[in-house]
Chain A
Amino acid sequence: MLKDSPQSQWIVDALDLHEDALLRYAAWVLRDPELAREVVQETFLRLCREEPAKLSGHLAPWLFTVCRNLAFDTRKREARMTPLEDTDIGVDSNVEQKSAVNEIFRLVGNLPKNQREVVYLKFQCDLSYKEISEVTKLSVGNVGLLLHTALNAIRKRVVSEQPARRNR
């Protein structure tokens, strides 16, 4: 086996830690697991060019920021090529079919775009307010407000659904 140098070990660790979350995030933005893989590979290839010391403590937001930018670029390009597709991020064209099975998903999908993304970065990628703020360039306070507004809306929906479920 190859002896891992600190640099490549750093990359391998970063892959182990964040690959899955980044893939999910990119797949969510792009609605395409294959494109997501390309974006995530590219994200890590860019990470190879960075100094570990410089990113210490900011690795997750850095990766999500790069991944996000690449994903949005890719999306724009794909959208130009296939103009007919619904290009709203995080929303599948067959969302209506899915929603029958999945109430919450429709709710997340119907949230305003800015809320949807912070919800995603929080609940799927498990970033902190501060990290989300770094990725989205929103203020921490704004992130908190968006998240609460979104979660409160979901809460109301869940509570109105829940009694029926509970009694079953």
Chain B
Amino acid sequence: MTHINPDDPKWTAYILNELDDTERASLELELESSEEARMLVEELRLAADLTKIDLRQEVMVVPLTAQERETIRSSAEVLRSRRWGARPAVWVAGLAAAGIVLMVSLSPTILRSRIQPLGAPSAPIVQEAQRAEQSGAPVVSDQTEPKVLEKPALEAKQAAASARVFGKVQDAAKALIPGVTIVATNTQTGASSTTVTNESGVYKLEGLEPGTYRVTGSVPGFQTSSDSIQVAANAQAERDITLQLGQMAESVQVQVGGVDAEKSRKAAPVPSNVVRPYSVAPGIGTADGGAAQGLAGQIGGAQPEIRQQAGNIPRPAGAPAPPPPPAEGAPAPPPPAPRANLPFGETRAPGVPALLDRIGPGRDNRAEAYDAITDNPFLAVGQNPLSTFSIDVDTASYSNVRRFLNQNQLPPRDAVRIEEMINYFDYDYPQPSGRIPVGAAIEAAAAPWNPQHRLVRIGIRARDIAAGRRPSSNLVFLIDVSGSMQPAERLPLLKNGIRMLVEQLTANDRVTVVTYAGTTGVALRSTRGDQKDVILGLIDSLQAGGSTNGASGIQLAYEQAAASFIPGGVNRVILATDGDFNVGITDRNSLLRLIEDKAKSGVFLSVLGVGMGNYKDATLETLADKGNGNYAYIDTLNEARKVLVDQMNGTLVTVAKDVKVQVEFNPAVVDAYRLIGYENRALRNEDFNNDLKDAGDMGAGHTVTVLYEVVPRGVAIGAGVDPLKYQPSVAAPPRNASNETLTVKVRYKEPAGTESKLLSFPLVDREQAFARASADFRFAASVASFGMILRDSPFKGNATMDSVLSVGEDSLGSDGAGYRREFLQLVQRARQLRGR
């Protein structure tokens, strides 16, 4: 082994990407041949990471205020106008800026007190600003003001409408939040003005009439905040807003009307940074809730009618509705700001093509890939007394369907997997008792779409893990940073989601980050979960670029997971991607073999799918299945929170593995049955007892809902099955006839076990009418109906969007998180799209 010279500066230059191609190539040769060199480079990387992080923690920084930034900005205008002399347009712009300088100088000493101590260098500028201010001021008030205002509708009010409100929006951790919709509503006139925070989380609203305003800030994923502020004529007020991560529980109380006058009075004179958490509709403060939020927030003006809606929506729920515009032809309330806000940062005027091209409905969906599904048919009990399948806790199909509907498109039928839609929602099944990790609650009632048939619901619930009792977790994030991940709803959304998950981790956990694009690398070596600055700093720094080679990334991630394996803990690779493996192993089967192989190492896999257009649903779902894992599609920050925070234990902690269900039907009671959904989860009957046969896993607190449509004896099946020629079933019920309809058998393994255990649950149907069934039952039935309509299933019976809606509205239950209400919004949208 040749010795290396650790004092050669090339090693540091290498890790900092400062070598040219030749130097890099020769150094990489050296790395291949020398363990010592590899060690050195690894250690230098570690040193560099730690240095970076420690330096960042060390210095305290107070950002410039919006006012100070404005001073600098307007100074650019002043200087520019002087340099360019008499060109009229420029001159006007310069004076407009001088107007700003005037305003600034009204508020005491901002400019001068800050700048003066520096002495000589700054003096000329200040003088210039002052000169401009003196000469420009008289002109500003009567000539240039209309130019200052962006909204023509306000011109008539120009004399009075000159107050400004500005500030920045941040979260509890002081991270600035772009893309927040800010609405200032005048509490006297109801006139409102809207803007969106820029990339730096800064907003400003100008051309306001003097008065008291309720300022609300809303963005999906955070609670809407609301605060009162008073601005005088020609004055400005700075108000920073802090948004708390949203608890959607408070979501649906939409406050209408009344201004809390006392609150305004108290809050107004003294600008305070304290904001009160405020009620918010699901996701964002729109009067009509979550689905509309999706429209306004996600697609950002992808279609004309949507843009329209996006424009009209941003008045948060907490803000009073503006009264109709005053009579006598007074100016209408200002038009909504002509911007649509996209989650996380992208704010764009409508008509700006780049993003629209990327996500425009009907354009890119061609590239999406779904496996074909054929609805399970009715099966005669005489021929098929057993029905066997693997459970599926995935919910991705629902989020994906939601995305389509929010884009004003009906989803392709094969994108609708009914079981995943049903399982998206929480159902209140009883906790399993004792040491058994899973339990089942069975209920039967008339099928709403065919009252002669019975609907049987099997609700399987996995044991919850008490908060704080989560086992130590070894998480390897495998993050796709290829070029296709660039759009705001891909990598930036994922980063925010992962950030929320990392916030939950403790010193017992370990986080590794592997990124992959054209090349693959460990971006963060295994790091303790409480070193949040390190982890979050790294997550923040991720950027998309390059092509994708999913396969080598997966290999590296499993290696990393194995290297920091926590025995008895949670060991999980979390693959975050749009699934577009466009380099390397693109052959799906070899990829699956790889994943299946790796799954045997005791490391589980979660797949977080994002993105639109080239989203490869089929690939991702199969990856998760083969990798002993789960799969979620993340389309909004709300969804990220649901999967990564609210259901963190379920996503991370597997409590039962290879869960299979086998239902035996009693031919004395049942003629035929049909399993709704789970089409691609079917197992052969003999595989139920075969412990070598892989099946779905259940995480802590997961619920799985299974629906069977059952044809009682003597009732026509309708479509499908010919009468049996040789079976005695119709004439002679078995002698030892039981009145049980069916028996549900569940097999599962402990997470580390290899032998399955069997549970069994019989059902006696009490002939319950549908209307008497539990709310959970009726809601699940309503979701199933919706799925069948979307799939245009031959078995949908008399289900209609209207019946789905009326059943759904009646069975909301407590719906703390607002998901069921959101479902109703989606049904309404689908109904519109179908032109009914």
Tell me the A residues contacting B by CB distance below 8 Å: 1-3, 5, 7-8, 10-12, 15-16, 19-20, 23-24, 27-28, 33-34, 36-42, 44-46, 48-49, 70, 73-74, 77, 98, 102, 104-105, 108, 119-120, 122-124, 128-129, 141, 144-145, 147-149, 151-152, 154-155, 158-159, 162
Contacts and interface: CB of A to CB of B under 8 A. Distances in A.
Nearest to A155: B47
Contacts of B148: 2
A9 to B, nearest CB: 9
A151 B44 contact: yes
3 closest A-B pairs by CB: A148-B9, A148-B12, A155-B47
B150 A124 contact: no
A145 B12 CA distance: 9
B77 A148 contact: no
A148 B118 CA distance: 35
Nearest to B149: A1
B46 A155 contact: yes
Interface string B119-152: 1011001000000000000000000000110100
26 contacts: A2-B100, A3-B93, A5-B90, A8-B97, A11-B73, A12-B69, A19-B69, A33-B61, A38-B117, A40-B64, A41-B115, A42-B115, A42-B118, A45-B125, A49-B79, A104-B54, A105-B54, A105-B55, A105-B58, A119-B55, A123-B48, A124-B59, A129-B18, A149-B9, A151-B12, A152-B6
Interface residues of B, number: 64
B77 A8 contact: yes
A8 B43 CA distance: 44
B57 to A, nearest CB: 7
Contacts, number: 180
A73 B12 CA distance: 32
A45 B77 contact: no
B396 to A, nearest CB: 36
B737 interface: no
B63 A23 contact: yes
B200 interface: yes
Interface in B1-19: 6-13, 16, 18
A42 B72 CA distance: 9
B194 to A, nearest CB: 11
A70 B120 CA distance: 11
Given A2-B150, A151-B51, 15 more contacts: A2-B206, A7-B77, A8-B74, A12-B73, A27-B60, A28-B59, A34-B62, A41-B72, A70-B121, A102-B54, A104-B51, A108-B51, A123-B55, A124-B52, A149-B7
Interface in B741-788: none
User: Residue among A7, A36, A119, A149 with the most chain B CB within 10 A?
Assistant: A7
Contact of A8 (B76, B117, B119, B150): B76
Contacts of A119: 51, 55
A45 B62 contact: no
A20 B115 contact: no
B554 interface: no
Given A1-B150, A48-B76, A129-B13, A158 B43 contact: yes
Contacts of A16: 198-200
A10 B13 CA distance: 32
Nearest to A31: B59
User: In the complex, which of the residues B7, B12, B13, B74 has the most CB atoms of chain A within 10 Å of its own CB atom?
Assistant: B12
Interface in B187-205: 195, 198-200, 204
Contacts of A155: 40, 43-44, 46-47
B681 interface: no
B114 interface: yes
Contacts of A40: 64
A127 to B, nearest CB: 11
Given A3-B150, A10-B76, A48-B75, A38 B114 contact: yes
Given A70-B121, A123-B51, A15 B69 contact: yes
Nearest to A146: B9
B61 A36 contact: yes
Given A19-B64, A151-B47, A158-B47, A108 B55 contact: yes
A16 to B, nearest CB: 5
A10 B10 CA distance: 36
Contacts of B55: 28, 105, 108, 119-120, 123-124
A105 B53 CA distance: 10
A42 B125 CA distance: 9
Contacts of B79: 48-49
Contacts of B12: 144, 147-148, 151-152
A1 B195 contact: yes
A3 B149 CA distance: 9
Contact of B62 (A2, A8, A33, A154): A33
B68 interface: yes
B195 A19 contact: no
B72 A11 contact: yes
Nearest to A106: B54
Contacts of B623: none
A123 B75 CA distance: 32
